[in-house]
Chain A
Amino acid sequence: MKETILSINQLSKHYGRIRAVDNLSLDIERGNVYGILGPNGSGKTTTIGIILGVINANSGSYKWFGNEPTNNDRKRIGSIIETPLFYPYLTAIRNLKIIADIKGLGYESIENVLKTVDLFERKNDVFKTYSLGMKQRLALAAAMLGNPEMMILDEPTNGLDPQGIADTRDLIKRIASEGTTIFLASHLLDEVQKVCTHVAVLNKGKKLFSGDVDEVLTDTFTIEIASDNLEELQKTLNDFPNLHSVTKDGDKLTVRVKGKTNGRDLNSFLFNKGIILTHLAAKKKSLESYFLELLSDKK
């Protein structure tokens, strides 16, 4: 049985009539790299604000490390929130010292984290002289202080250049591989897919879907097929090596296959098994369109 780090239970927050977070529940276990994926305004940042104690929920609850939340939990969590927040007139070092003091950490790791995010050279410059990308990297450094067991990253690649994005994703993967639990909010499907092990898709504050990233977001290709005997066809399909899922759709089967397989592979496989198809239509469906579909399905 895995240890639950964060458990969110029927959380709701509304601003006037707008429901920013609507009855959201999810559990994050130790070692998960959990992504919340959703378009802008889907409630990701509000959710993070609530679990970090800066936004008051209207109803629902959450638990950190299995207990009612206290401020000491937050000392064990490294967080990046939508925009980097630092004292503009203080240097990177001084800003990080304040955070270390709040968390009750020593100053030894400050230089290390600054090196990791490539800001060591600029450590004695004041924050307001930094570019957006550097500010974002300092936020990442702050989140890494003291090797927290949990990291919350809200749009961590916002404002970074392509190289910075790639570096940051590698860094997150490295941190995750060391066993740190990560909660990552992003509106970029690609990012969640590349980094996360689990995902919840959020729209208008509601959770649409959650599960394993492999389950939910594998790059699949959808093919519609039919034959004279659907049952036999379905049975045979189970032996197809790159099968993702099969659903019956009236008198046709909708087959999702993984990765690089296509209609030709499927057809020749079935032909070899002695099945002649009466219908075959390749429905190119990229991950993006699947994501968009998820979002538009349940309006």
Chain B
Amino acid sequence: MIKLLKIEYQKIAPYKTFWVLFGLYFAVLGIIIFGTQSFINEFFVDVRKNSPIPIPTVSLYNFPDVWQNITYLGGYFKIFLAVLIVILVSNEFSFRTIRQNIINGMSKSEFLKSKLLFIFSISLASTLFLFISGLILGLTHTTYISFSKVFNNSYFLFVYLLELFSFLSFAMLVGFLVKKSGFAIGILLLYSYIIERILWYKIPEEISEYFPIRMIGKLIDVPNTALMKIFGINFRNFVSFPDIAIVIAYTILFIFLTSLLLKKRDI
């Protein structure tokens, strides 16, 4: 396992495109997570002036709410990582280095394993980034800190890890299926943001709510802030186990389909 991860690392270590995109991802993620609060504050100053009812202060960074708030925000940026994965996978086809890897003695399942390990590592890196950011933000914004308060909702981090891993497995499948990076990125974006969304409206809710991108996206629901309560909107502030089970099933399906493609097709 370490060996496969080392090989993956060798492939990207001096690859500038990868590091630029990867760095950009964390920069944007950091700015959004650390900057959303002040954006909201600015916004509320304006709103309060004209509001007939008093609007409560919204704090995103209090323990334990911070975990759901930042993992929810972070979920919007997983597409960055997905594009990276698509590029790395389709590169192996356009450079035909997958062929070279196999000929030199890697098995097809080892090749798939190395990509999965890589996807997991990237998901883990992003989760750790949120964990550290959450700790910093929580500790500096919460008045009364207790151990249980800090870690109460930290399971959102694990759900976030699953969300990323599942979506990146989907991106990997698209990369293996389409093989041309530009085209594959197009398909990934088109399906995630347009095709599936159109289907949500065309197909009855009972069915379309189980579509993969939707399921992955709603693992962590919109945080229930005090503001939402005023408007009478009540989102889930927990994670449903059936949702997790379905997303895990989807992830297994994506990996299975990828391995099928790898086995059946000539490389």
Contacts and interface: CB of A to CB of B under 8 A. Distances in A.
Contacts of B204: none
**Chain B: interface residue count, which band?**
20 to 34
Interface in B103-126: 103-108, 110
Given A71-B110, A94-B14, A97-B10, A102 B266 contact: no
Contact of B104 (A49, A79, A88): A79
A52 B266 contact: no
A189 interface: no
B7 A85 contact: no
Contacts, number: 79
Interface of B is mostly: helix
B266 A79 contact: no
B236 interface: no
A102 B104 contact: yes
Contact of B99 (A71, A81, A87, A88): A81
Given A94-B10, A98-B11, A101-B3, A86 B104 contact: no
A98 B7 contact: yes
Interface in B231-267: 264-267
Interface in A92-143: 94, 97-99, 101-104, 142
Nearest to A152: B103
Nearest to A71: B107
A103 B105 contact: yes
Contact of A103 (B15, B96, B102, B104): B104
Interface in B149-169: none
Nearest to B267: A54
Contact of B10 (A77, A81, A98): A98
Contacts of A75: 104-105
A2 B106 CA distance: 29
B37 interface: no
Nearest to A74: B105
**Chain A: interface residue count, which band?**
20 to 34
B105 A87 contact: no
A55 B266 contact: yes
Contacts of B13: 94
A88 B16 CA distance: 12
B36 interface: no
A91 B15 CA distance: 11
A89 interface: yes
A52 B7 contact: no
Nearest to B92: A87
A49 B42 CA distance: 63
B147 to A, nearest CB: 44
B103 A52 contact: yes
A72 interface: yes
Most chain B Cβ neighbours within 10 Å, of A73, A83, A89: A89
B95 A99 contact: no
A86 B97 contact: yes
A104 B6 CA distance: 12
Nearest to A70: B107
A71 B101 CA distance: 11
B100 interface: yes
A72 to B, nearest CB: 7
A190 to B, nearest CB: 27
Most chain A Cβ neighbours within 10 Å, of B14, B96, B105, B107: B105
Most chain B Cβ neighbours within 10 Å, of A74, A81, A98: A98
Contacts of B7: 98, 101-102
27 contacts: A52-B102, A54-B99, A54-B103, A55-B266, A56-B265, A71-B102, A71-B107, A73-B105, A74-B103, A74-B104, A74-B105, A75-B104, A81-B103, A85-B100, A87-B95, A87-B97, A89-B16, A91-B14, A94-B14, A97-B10, A98-B101, A99-B100, A99-B104, A102-B101, A102-B104, A102-B105, A104-B105
Q: What 3 A-B pairs are tightest by C-beta distance, nearest first?
A: A75-B105, A71-B107, A85-B100
Given A71-B106, A72-B105, A86-B95, 14 more contacts: A49-B266, A52-B103, A54-B102, A54-B266, A74-B102, A77-B105, A83-B96, A85-B100, A89-B16, A97-B10, A101-B3, A102-B104, A102-B105, A102-B106
